[in-house]
Structure 1
Amino acid sequence: MKLAAALDVPRQRPDWLRLKLPSLIALLVLWQASAMLIADPVFPTPWATVETGYAHLMAGDLLLNLAATLARVAVSFLFAMVIGSAIGIALGRSQPADAIFGGWLSIALNMPALVTMVLCYVWFGLTEVAAILAVTINKAPTVAAIMREGARALDRQLLETTEVFGVSRWKVLRQVVLPQLAPSFIASARAGLALTWKIVLVVELLGRPNGIGFQIRTFFNYFDIAGILAYSLAFIAVVLAIETFLIQPIERRTGRWRAA
């Protein structure tokens, strides 16, 4: 018998059911009321948006464009995380390197994303490589900045202790360094995922023949607001699913050592 049952303590409902679900319902009610009050096609109701999304789903174009965008997001996200993490850890662990190249990182962080996209398309053409490169260049500095702070916060005394006792580098990396860097890595991944897909949509809008961004541009040309909202909500749902079923479990798993 579980402790809660033994003490006759009522179980609390899951957080999403107790707090998030009523909040989402309130948002839908507000959306519906606003649409009814405005009564204009440029502000469709939730049901009209769902109907439009279902029609595009049955037609097959929603899944095809969603898959194209997800592929670009996955590749760009992977490259940005690897490159940004390597740069951030290197700068965080070396004060001379940070003094020399820290200014470069500041410039990269403040470079407008639109400028990078246009330059990549001009220099490399309207190609998939240019699109992925533009997103990676925009995302990697954010990862580097977060990982640099995480690397700076590493317990130096603990690292020195492992050197004194001759602990292998692989064991130090796996059991000392990575657990301490995990919160920074998760934070950069969470922020990066939201940032990456937004940049990918703009890249697609500017110069790709498919994807959510391309389709949103098409809907805009025909003032199809329901289509824009349907496509946007479909992709947001996918990103939230990734956050809920992938990033959050990894975060809980990597954070167990703190509670031990």
Structure 2
Amino acid sequence: MSERASKETVPGAGAPSAPPPANARAGAFSRLTRSRPTRPGEVYGVPGQGDAFWLSLGSIAFIIFLWWLVTFLGWVKPLFVPSPGAIIAKFVDVWQNGFTNTSFVEHVWISTARVFGAFLLACVVGIPLGIAMGMSPTVRGIFDPPIEFYRPIPPLAYLPLMIIWFGIGETSKVLLIFLSVFAPVALGSRSGVRSAAIEQIHAAYSFGATRWQVMRHVILPSALPEILTAMRIGIGFGWTTLVAAEMVAATKGLGYMVLSASQFLQTSTVIMGIVVIAAIAYAFDLLMRFVERKVVPWKGRM
């Protein structure tokens, strides 16, 4: 009798325990997620940004040490691979005395203006066009074939056409760099638009959103990570095309400096110019990564 009474006074006694309520499960999940690392790259034991920075620094130091060791032991002649000290000395010399009667800062400024001018033009034209290609089958059918046709062609292949059509001035150089940047930016923007979840778009329309509001609040935030990645890839193609753009009738610029020095076997000047181009491109890439962390902080998070 007492056992029966106890079962009646204590609901659920002797029966399988009921599942916890939804709010309790949500609280447990939130505590679980708070206990995980929240910084990018620190999920499930993957090194974080601080560890990655020191690994990158160590990798660069190892490469420079290996370079110095090879030249110090004389395994390679200085004509082919000068020592790091020779590169630094050449950099100081060009910084102080210039190259071909032009200061080093002017060479850097001319090349940077060409690349970033073409890059900004490619972004202004390519991003809206890519978004339109992603949203409209008609626009995609019109512009996709010509972009995909010229995209695999190396810039040196249509450099003669640029010279024939636009001469040997700045227009042909900037246009050549523009074409190398435009394709990845436009195609990346198109791919980003198509990555937007159709459920979110339908939900926005069901709440009465206009087409502009859907693009502004749903499609564009979903496409931003791929658009920024496409911009990083595009600027890399721009710096790659710089040397080709400055091959013809150029008297200033880093590409001109590299090509002119190679004709006189000034290997230290060639490597110094390559290092400067790489340093500028890498600095811009770091800037784009910072912009990504601020504009799309959810990218790469779990």
- What's the TM-score once normalised by structure 2's chain length? 0.76
Task: Establish whether residue 23 from structure 1 lines up as the match of residue 59 from structure 2.
Answer: yes
Superimposed CA distance per residue, residues 27-58 of structure 1 (whole angstroms, 9 cap, x where no aligned partner): 01221222231133231001101110111112
Please point out which of 68, 84, 95 is paired with 1:46: 84
User: Quick one: distance in 2 between partners of 1:54 and 1:188?
Assistant: 35
Determine the structure 2 residue equivalent to 1:248: 289
Contact 1:135 1:200 in 2 (8 A): yes
Q: 1:257 to 1:166 in 2, by over 3 A?
A: farther
Contact 1:42 1:224 in 2 (8 A): no
Letter in 2 for 1:220: S
Contact 1:179 1:254 in 2 (8 A): no
Within-5 A mapping of 1:84-233? 84-167=126-209, 171-233=213-275
Q: In terms of mean alpha carbon deviation, does 160-169 or 14-23 score higher? A: 160-169
Within-5 A mapping of 1:28-39? 28-35=64-71, 36-39=74-77
Residues matched between the structures, number: 249
Q: 1:77 to 1:29 in 2, by over 3 A?
A: same
Determine the structure 1 residue equivalent to 2:16: none
Please point out which of 89, 93, 115 is paired with 1:55: 93
Contact 1:204 1:213 in 2 (8 A): yes
Contact 1:75 1:132 in 2 (8 A): yes
Q: In terms of mean alpha carbon deviation, does 52-61 or 223-232 score higher? A: 52-61
- RMSD, matched Cα: 2.2
Superimposed CA distance per residue, residues 166-196 of structure 1 (whole angstroms, 9 cap, x where no aligned partner): 3356654443222111111111111111110
Contact 2:121 2:178 in 1 (8 A): yes
Q: In terms of mean alpha carbon deviation, does 129-138 or 95-104 score higher? A: 95-104
Q: 1:83 to 1:168 in 2, by over 3 A?
A: same
Please point out which of 120, 130, 134 is paired with 1:78: 120
Structure showing the higher helix proportion among its residues: 1
Displacement after TM superposition at 1:16 (Å): 5.0
Displacement after TM superposition at 1:68 (Å): 0.5
Letter in 2 for 1:247: M
Q: In terms of mean alpha carbon deviation, does 184-193 or 32-41 score higher? A: 32-41
Which has the higher relative contact order, 1 or 2, with Cα contacts under 8 A spaced 6 or more apart? 1
Superimposed CA distance per residue, residues 56-88 of structure 1 (whole angstroms, 9 cap, x where no aligned partner): 112242211011000001110011122222222
Displacement after TM superposition at 1:165 (Å): 2.2
User: Quick one: distance in 1 between partners of 2:161 and 2:140?
Assistant: 27
User: Quick one: distance in 1 between partners of 2:229 and 2:49?
Assistant: 27
Q: Secondary structure at the match of 2:172?
A: helix
Structure 1 gaps of 5+ residues are: 4-11
Determine the structure 2 residue equivalent to 1:6: none
- What's the TM-score once normalised by structure 1's chain length? 0.87
Displacement after TM superposition at 1:230 (Å): 0.9
Q: 1:13 to 1:98 in 2, by over 3 A?
A: closer
Q: In terms of mean alpha carbon deviation, does 61-70 or 110-119 score higher? A: 110-119
Runs of 4+ in 1 over 6 A off after TM superposition: none
Q: Secondary structure at the match of 1:213?
A: helix
Give percent identity, aligned residues only. 24
Letter in 2 for 1:109: R
Contact 1:116 1:138 in 2 (8 A): no
